[in-house]
Chains A and B, each alone.
Chain A
Amino acid sequence: MTIYDLTLAELRDLLDRRELSAVEVTTAYLERIAETNPKLNSFITVCAETAKAEAEAADRAMAAGETKPLTGLPIAAKDIFNTAGVLTTCGSRILGNYTSPYDATAIARIKAQKAVIVGKLNMDEFAMGSSNENSAFGAVRNPWELSHVPGGSSGGSAACVAASQAAAALGTDTGGSIRQPAAYCSVVGLKPTYGRVSRFGVVAYASSLDQVGPITRDVRDCALMLQAIAGYDPADSTSVDTPAPDYQTGLTRDLKGLRIGLPQEYFIDGLDDDVRRAVEQATTTCRNLGAEIIDVSLPHTTYAVACYYLIATAEASSNLARYDGVRYGLRADQAANLIDMYMQSRAAGFGPEVKRRIMLGTYALSSGYYDAYYLKAQKVRTLIRQDFLDAFEKVDVLLTPVAPTPAFALGEKVNDPLQMYLSDIYTIPVNLAGTCAMSLPCGFSADGLPIGLQLIGKPFDEAAILSTAYAFEQATTWHQRKPQL
């Protein structure tokens, strides 16, 4: 038994039976991180000291009979989550020296269960990117093929879980930033319904699209993590006051009576043959498990990417205005006057993709262009959401690819932002619709690169996709494969 290869559920079992201590588990993971991180660069900060202290506290809690589902389990968080007393960079030079004074709600909730936070994970700067190449702290490498990207923006989170550097990770998903890297790294990633998990303390990229979710080894762990972080938070006005069901008990092994929809617009030119084959095979597996497969249409799919890049960039241009060098973060010290200070600080602090999106968004909101761009995009967004609601009149779950291709090579799309943007073509509509979706392993390409399957659920019906995913996972072995490092 290798400690760091176990799932949350397996570790829980061993901890509960006192066969392992939280300190032993944490030590094993910290060693694993030290050994593998030079190859992957998935961590920006490793919290070795605090993690050991948290593990000791977890052991004490368990000894006192105060065990909660995540007590003593090693978890890492994307560096977009505020963590009190720890560097919170958001992958940006402008926050390169920023230590947060407070915990994000999601962090506070896992801390309340006495989980052990082993470190903060690399990411595309301000969650803008699909390859993790936009990080001020260097690119992350895909554990399955070090010359390839892990996906983005939660690239560090997916690589970390795939490489067994933590038992689970927290990520965020604005246009696919949990699901696409999960697919590229052959792990499970869930983007909950907008409002299901609090955004408080998550550095904002596009507020109406951002959502927190887990990345895990398997579906059961995913349910466990969602349980811990889901639920209303009075500090986030957009979090929704509906109770989260018990996700564990909903996990079943067959799909009898389940109606699965295949959106025709998702199986088009540009979809890689290996990916198409893997997803078709997955469809067959689901049918064999008793599901009914139905063709459906999401007619406004073709406008989703354009719509996303107007709304997300508009919100980002405003959300990132606070990084002005006045109160915290990078400040240019040679500035002659105030305007100069703003310009120099932001010029030096932001990377090229962030600058590109700030400019796009600023333009989209400008007087005289607002109606043609931002307002039009909001109307299109309503139509896209309606597409999903219409489809969910006929089916319970939608089944699609996560990304058109498997992971691409480092540097391959760096100079072609449009090609890069298209890698999120299947994930973006879900954020625009505000509903939930997950990515889970469903095969490998001829080159040995992982392929992910996307399951999309009705708003607030995470239970349905989790249980579908669980049945699929039980019938397949893809999730058991591990990369060789």
Chain B
Amino acid sequence: MNEHYETVIGLEVHVQLTTRTKIFCGCSTEFGRTPNSQTCPVCLGLPGALPVLNRKAVEFAIRTGLATNCRIAPRSIFARKNYFYPDLPKGYQISQFELPVCEHGWLDIDLEDGGVKRIGITRAHMEEDAGKLIHGETPETAGSSLVDLNRACTPLLEIVSEPDMRSADQAIAYLKKLHQIVVYLGVCDGNLEEGSFRCDANVSVRPHGQKAFGTRAELKNINSFRFIKQAIEYEVERQIDLIESGGKVIQETRLFDSNTGMTRSMRGKEEAHDYRYFPDPDLVPLVISQEWIAEVRATLPELPEAKRRRFVEGLGLSTYDAEVLAADRKLADYFDACVTLAKDAKSCANWVMGEVLRKLKETDTAITSAPVTPEMLSGLLARIADETISGKIAKTVFEQMWQNGEPADRIIEAQGLKQVTDTGEIEGLVDQVIAAHPEQVSEYLSGKDKLIGFFVGKVMQASQGKANPGMVNQLLKKKLHG
């Protein structure tokens, strides 16, 4: 990267809101159904059909606005964005233009050097999605395009940032943070591949110290965090090379091609649409009362950042553990439930991040359907804490709990896994082991201290793992040196 230039990035993110029904009609928003099976006169754009705003979509917009520190407009307006395309049934998209529902927000991102940077959010506005075109894939449909309007009219919230990011990494940090928040809020499923979270990047470069922005290119069609980084980095290089070789960056829309890792021109400024925005006369102004905002605010969940802070400062977890546990709201809820029951936050964290996450991954299970509930896990941790079983046996018990869904106590009882703490019983086993391994005993006594592990192992084996390891150790040393 050329050090004489500074990169300037602004992002436009389309968040698909997970309402059950579409934004302007009652059709289902479910993904992947038979084409055009989830349509009605409204989302098909039939003559005479009229839109009616989905209140839940507004609530989700307010939630997101509040979580990203936006001002919620007491009155906002839906506008028509006019252009022709076969996936747009009415010939216009209902969006918001002059008066969006959210404005003037921000998010803080963590920088690599440990600092924090505030990224401004210009606005967030509600709009309807378009349908999908499928271009002739079978011999019968070759040369033609098929229109699927199942997605048409599903609710989107477009969140527009200020041009505050100065590197691809900062852009990714902002996106990941925003992604985590909308998923946490339950307003978006966060699925980048299905297009539930889409990003366009406005990228420009300028010599360091220059106040004015360079000419920007808008990058479209990027559907993973990795591609976003790739696209931005490619585009920055392209623009710098262009300027360095005496050329000029032109304002245009560019498509990212994930196969080549490059961007290519889609349309220039001259070909840009004149969208002829005007207030949609079919919809009345969206009025949001202070009471409604307060109501929504009261239902906001604890956000990832606050959660991390609580895990570190309140529960004494490491920054890393807090990060992992807070990354997913459901996981954090699981962990919180364990801590409430078991009290020992550190051992809860170890178990959730260790055994629980491992089994979830192994069995491809969601945390909410884990067969070992927080109640069951805390039951197991209690048996470790009171030394009924050892940590090692606990792992075996956990495995069985996962498979059978039975509580720890029942498994320990049924299989006689209770730790042996009877001195006499352990002494017997120690004596047997010492008697059976005279060679090792003399080696040990001649100074090979490490062999103590060998003896412990043998005794534990003989007890089928049930002997209290501390007691075994103690008795062994006493007897060997005896």
Assess whether A237 is in contact with B48, with CB atoms less than 8 Å apart.
Answer: no
**Given A324-B84, A326-B147, CB of A237 within 8 Å of CB of B50:** yes
Assess whether B53 is in contact with A237, with CB atoms less than 8 Å apart.
Answer: yes
Please name all residues of chain A whose beta carbon is closer than 8 Å to the beta carbon of B469 when the two chains form the complex. Answer: none
Query: Closest residue of chain A to B51, judged by CB?
Result: A237
1/0 per residue B56-82: CB within 8 Å of A?
A: 000000000000000000000000101
Query: What's the Cα separation between A370 and B89 when bound, in Å?
Result: 24
Please name all residues of chain B whose beta carbon is closer than 8 Å to the beta carbon of A199 when the two chains form the complex. Answer: 48, 50
Please name all residues of chain B whose beta carbon is closer than 8 Å to the beta carbon of A200 when the two chains form the complex. Answer: 48-50
**Given A238-B282, A318-B82, A322-B90, CB of A327 within 8 Å of CB of B48:** no
Is A338 close to B, CB under 8 A?
Answer: yes
Binding stretch for chain A, among B39-47, B159-167, B234-242, B388-396: B39-47
Please name all residues of chain B whose beta carbon is closer than 8 Å to the beta carbon of A309 when the two chains form the complex. Answer: none
Is B86 close to A, CB under 8 A?
Answer: yes
Is A180 close to B, CB under 8 A?
Answer: no
Assess whether B86 is in contact with A237, with CB atoms less than 8 Å apart.
Answer: no
Please name all residues of chain A whose beta carbon is closer than 8 Å to the beta carbon of B45 when the two chains form the complex. Answer: 322, 327
Query: What's the Cα separation between A379 and B49 when bound, in Å?
Result: 28
From the candidates A88, A95, A318, A324, name the one contacting B276 in the complex (CB within 8 A): A318
Q: For the complex formed, measure the closest distance between the CB of B56 and the CB atoms of chain A, giving whole angstroms.
A: 15
Assess whether A237 is in contact with B91, with CB atoms less than 8 Å apart.
Answer: no
Shortest beta-carbon contacts, A-B, top 10: A321-B91, A208-B281, A207-B281, A365-B276, A203-B47, A201-B48, A322-B45, A82-B48, A367-B274, A203-B48
Instruction: State the majority secondary structure of interface residues on B.
Output: loop
From the candidates A100, A234, A317, name the one contacting B47 in the complex (CB within 8 A): A100
1/0 per residue A250-286: CB within 8 Å of B?
A: 0000000000000000000000000000000000000
Assess whether A90 is in contact with B91, with CB atoms less than 8 Å apart.
Answer: no
Please name all residues of chain A whose beta carbon is closer than 8 Å to the beta carbon of B147 when the two chains form the complex. Answer: 326-327
Is A235 close to B, CB under 8 A?
Answer: yes
Query: What's the Cα separation between A405 and B49 when bound, in Å?
Result: 36
Is B278 close to A, CB under 8 A?
Answer: yes
**Given A237-B52, A321-B90, A338-B86, CB of A102 within 8 Å of CB of B41:** yes
1/0 per residue B21-32: CB within 8 Å of A?
A: 000000000000
**Given A322-B89, A365-B278, CB of A100 within 8 Å of CB of B50:** no
Interface hits, B76-132 → A, CB 8 Å: 80, 82, 84, 86, 89-92
1/0 per residue A59-84: CB within 8 Å of B?
A: 00000000000000000000001100
Query: What's the Cα separation between A201 and B40 when bound, in Å?
Result: 13
Is B284 close to A, CB under 8 A?
Answer: yes
Query: What's the Cα separation between A100 and B52 when bound, in Å?
Result: 20
Q: For the complex formed, measure the closest distance between the CB of B130 and the CB atoms of chain A, giving whole angstroms.
A: 12
Is B283 close to A, CB under 8 A?
Answer: yes
Query: Closest residue of chain B to A201, judged by CB?
Result: B48
Please name all residues of chain B whose beta carbon is closer than 8 Å to the beta carbon of A95 when the two chains form the complex. Answer: 47
Please name all residues of chain B whose beta carbon is closer than 8 Å to the beta carbon of A235 when the two chains form the complex. Answer: 50, 52
Assess whether B47 is in contact with A322, with CB atoms less than 8 Å apart.
Answer: yes
Assess whether A365 is in contact with B281, with CB atoms less than 8 Å apart.
Answer: no
Query: What's the Cα separation between A237 and B284 when bound, in Å?
Result: 7
Assess whether B44 is in contact with A327, with CB atoms less than 8 Å apart.
Answer: yes
Assess whether B84 is in contact with A342, with CB atoms less than 8 Å apart.
Answer: yes
Interface hits, A192-232 → B, CB 8 Å: 199-204, 206-208
Q: For the complex formed, measure the closest distance between the CB of A263 and the CB atoms of chain B, giving whole angstroms.
A: 26
List 16 A-B pairs, Cβ < 8 Å. Answer: A82-B48, A101-B41, A101-B46, A104-B48, A201-B49, A203-B47, A204-B47, A237-B282, A318-B80, A318-B278, A321-B91, A321-B92, A324-B91, A367-B276, A370-B276, A370-B278
Query: What's the Cα separation between A367 and B47 when bound, in Å?
Result: 27
Q: For the complex formed, measure the closest distance between the CB of B398 and the CB atoms of chain A, giving whole angstroms.
A: 54
Query: What's the Cα separation between A235 and B50 when bound, in Å?
Result: 7
Interface centre among B51, B90, B277, B282 (most CB of A within 10 A): B282
Assess whether B284 is in contact with A90, with CB atoms less than 8 Å apart.
Answer: no
Please name all residues of chain A whose beta carbon is closer than 8 Å to the beta carbon of B51 when the two chains form the complex. Answer: 237
Assess whether A318 is in contact with B49, with CB atoms less than 8 Å apart.
Answer: no
Interface centre among B44, B91, B276, B277 (most CB of A within 10 A): B276
Besides A318-B92, A366-B276, 17 other A-B contacts (C-beta < 8 A): A82-B46, A82-B47, A95-B47, A199-B50, A200-B50, A237-B282, A317-B82, A321-B92, A322-B45, A322-B89, A322-B90, A322-B91, A326-B89, A327-B89, A362-B276, A367-B274, A370-B277
Q: For the complex formed, measure the closest distance between the CB of A316 and the CB atoms of chain B, giving whole angstroms.
A: 11
Interface hits, A302-329 → B, CB 8 Å: 314-315, 317-318, 320-322, 324, 326-328
Assess whether A321 is in contact with B84, with CB atoms less than 8 Å apart.
Answer: yes
Please name all residues of chain A whose beta carbon is closer than 8 Å to the beta carbon of B53 when the two chains form the complex. Answer: 237
Query: What's the Cα separation between A315 and B79 when bound, in Å?
Result: 12
Is A98 close to B, CB under 8 A?
Answer: yes
Please name all residues of chain B whose beta carbon is closer than 8 Å to the beta carbon of A207 when the two chains form the complex. Answer: 281-282
From the candidates B44, B91, B274, name the one contacting A318 in the complex (CB within 8 A): B91
Assess whether B278 is in contact with A237, with CB atoms less than 8 Å apart.
Answer: no
Query: What's the Cα separation between A200 and B277 when bound, in Å?
Result: 23
Assess whether A314 is in contact with B278, with CB atoms less than 8 Å apart.
Answer: yes
Query: What's the Cα separation between A233 and B347 when bound, in Å?
Result: 59
Is A412 close to B, CB under 8 A?
Answer: no
Please name all residues of chain B whose beta carbon is closer than 8 Å to the beta carbon of A340 when the two chains form the complex. Answer: none
Interface centre among B80, B90, B91 (most CB of A within 10 A): B91
Is A236 close to B, CB under 8 A?
Answer: yes
Is A43 close to B, CB under 8 A?
Answer: no
Query: What's the Cα separation between A227 and B419 when bound, in Å?
Result: 85
